[in-house]
Structure 1
Amino acid sequence: MKLALFDDHRLGVVTGETVTDVTGALPWPHEADPLTAGWWRRLCRDFAAVRPALEEAAAAGSAVPVAEVRLLAPALNPSKIVACASNYAAHVEEMHGVQERTLGKVESWMMNFDVFLKAPSSISGPRDAIVLPAAEVAAGHEIHHESELVIVIGRGGKDIPEDDALAHVFGYTLGLDMTVRSTGDRSRRKSHDTFSPVGPWITTADEATDPAAFQIDLIVNGDDHRQHVTTKELLTPVPAIVSYASRVMTLVPGDLIFTGAPPGVGPIRPGDLIDTSISGIGAMRLTVRS
């Protein structure tokens, strides 16, 4: 099943190019305010129990074209955004050159897999603009795109065994981990507003089945095809990511985990148009402005 948030944080089932409002099928109150939307975490945690009602509502409801609604980020006030660093071998290799150019040296510790946090306030939707911070642009810092598979946590937990990790995943979506290439902590450089566009919806884990079978692509300005990779190339695959992150911090329903940047990262500038997609999930077209 593909689940979208749209308009006033309504819940929709996406079929092809249409979406059907199934908000009324939820067995608990729907609170449109994203800061108090506990219903979303309950959906992430208890999806298996409510899926039959959502399917019935989708079959009986009136579908409308996706193009006619305002798609929102398929995430409501997550407790945290966890992000993975150095999780594709070719990206680790390319970062040596990127850091030599932008920092004048290679930070060897940054070439090892690990996780860090991004601010939830950096989340934006699949049709929102990416806004480049004026101070970073004025300082001459490059700002790069990183198109990534994003895990949405369902049943959370602490110290999750790797062989049980996929049972804790609600689904997957597409995200961009926007990054200022400068000195300083990753979390600061990646947490500006609009630096975590996600969407266009969630493909639930039962439909996605194999998280190693996704293909990621990113094209800038229509003809500059920069990123093209499959998630089977992840150095630390999805089950191991979930398990590792849960050993560091308790994962909560609705949390997001960015799985790491594929090779092909590069700078973006005001006026650029970014087309990014993941097979089996969907696509986003995002403009860049200052």
Structure 2
Amino acid sequence: MKLALFDDYRLGVVRSSPDGDVIVDVTAALPGPHDPDPVTAGWWRGLARDFDELSGALRAAAEDGRARPVSEVVLHAPVLGPSKVIAAASNYGEHVAEMHVVQERTLGRVEAWMMDFDVFLKAPSSIVGPGGRIVLPRDVVAAGHEVHHESELVVVIGRGGKDIPVEKAMDAVLGFTAGLDITVRSAADRSRRKSYDGFSPLGPYLVTTDELGDGSDLDIRLTSGGTVRQSVNTRDMLTPVPAIVAYASSVMTLLPGDVLFTGAPPGVGPITAGEQLDMSISGIGAMTVTVA
């Protein structure tokens, strides 16, 4: 199922049509009243936890409801109020190789420990939706630091859990979306460099695991001004999604609605004000963000 949050943080089911994507409002099929306040909207985390039980009612509502073109609505990030945003580091071999060059240029040295797979945290307040803006921080620009794009497959946690076995990891996942892990290249802590407001664009939709499986064969593509910056398939991940989920859960309890970036593919590079980034993942969709 392809889900979206739109307008007054309503829940929609999206499907393709000959004239483009259409969306059906299925909010009324959710249990309890709808809370449009993103600060207090616990219904979203409840949906993530209880999706298996609610999916039948959502599908029925999508069949019976009136479809509108997606172009007529305002899409938000397809997650709401996650307790945390987790990100995987060093998960594509070619990216690890290119980071030796990037770090020599931006830091004057290579931090060997950063070349190993691991997870870290980003601020949930860094999330923006498709069509959002990435604002380059004034202090970062003044210091002359580069700010880079990293286009990634993003996992959205469903029921979650602690110490989840690899073979059961996908049972804890709701689905996938596309994301940009925007990064300042400096000597600061990873979480600080990646947590500025607007540094986690997500969208346009969340696609559940019944359609995308474990996310192991999806094409990621990022262009700017018609130039391809990143193009990779998720089969090239060093640590696949189930193993990332299992490992992250060994460190921290994964809660319903949590977000997990799966690592940057090769081709990362600087972004500049006025630039437009177009990102897509096969089976999920495309989004455009601007740099300001």
1:53-202 mapped onto 2 (5 Å cutoff): 53-202=57-206
| Aligned equivalents of 2:228, 2:181: Cα separation in 1 | 17
Amino acid at match of 1:232: R
Counterpart of 1:233 in structure 2 is 236
Contact 2:155 2:176 in 1 (8 A): yes
Q: In the TM superposition, what is the alpha-carbon distance from 1:201 to its structure 2 partner?
A: 0.9
> What count of residue pairs does the alignment treat as equivalent?
288
Counterpart of 2:279 in structure 1 is 276
| Aligned equivalents of 2:65, 2:175: Cα separation in 1 | 23
| Aligned equivalents of 2:282, 2:265: Cα separation in 1 | 15
| Aligned equivalents of 2:289, 2:55: Cα separation in 1 | 31
| Aligned equivalents of 1:129, 1:118: Cα separation in 2 | 18
Counterpart of 2:8 in structure 1 is 8
Counterpart of 1:245 in structure 2 is 248
The alignment's TM-score, normalised by the length of structure 1, stands at 0.98
| Aligned equivalents of 1:153, 1:34: Cα separation in 2 | 18
Amino acid at match of 1:20: V
| Aligned equivalents of 2:101, 2:8: Cα separation in 1 | 44
Amino acid at match of 2:58: L
Contact 2:214 2:242 in 1 (8 A): no
Counterpart of 2:45 in structure 1 is 41
Q: In the TM superposition, what is the alpha-carbon distance from 1:28 to its structure 2 partner?
A: 2.2
| Aligned equivalents of 2:213, 2:245: Cα separation in 1 | 16
Contact 2:170 2:214 in 1 (8 A): no
Counterpart of 2:221 in structure 1 is 217
Q: In the TM superposition, what is the alpha-carbon distance from 1:246 to its structure 2 partner?
A: 0.2
Q: Deviation digits for residues 209-259 of structure 1, max 9, x if unmatched? A: 24101110000112x201111111110100000000000000000000000
Q: What fraction of aligned residue pairs are identical, expressed as a percent?
A: 65
Contact 2:89 2:264 in 1 (8 A): yes
The alignment's TM-score, normalised by the length of structure 2, stands at 0.98
Contact 2:77 2:129 in 1 (8 A): yes
Q: In the TM superposition, what is the alpha-carbon distance from 1:112 to its structure 2 partner?
A: 0.3
Counterpart of 1:255 in structure 2 is 258
Counterpart of 2:290 in structure 1 is 287
| Aligned equivalents of 2:225, 2:271: Cα separation in 1 | 10
| Aligned equivalents of 1:29, 1:164: Cα separation in 2 | 32
| Aligned equivalents of 1:46, 1:207: Cα separation in 2 | 17
Gaps of 5+ in 1: none
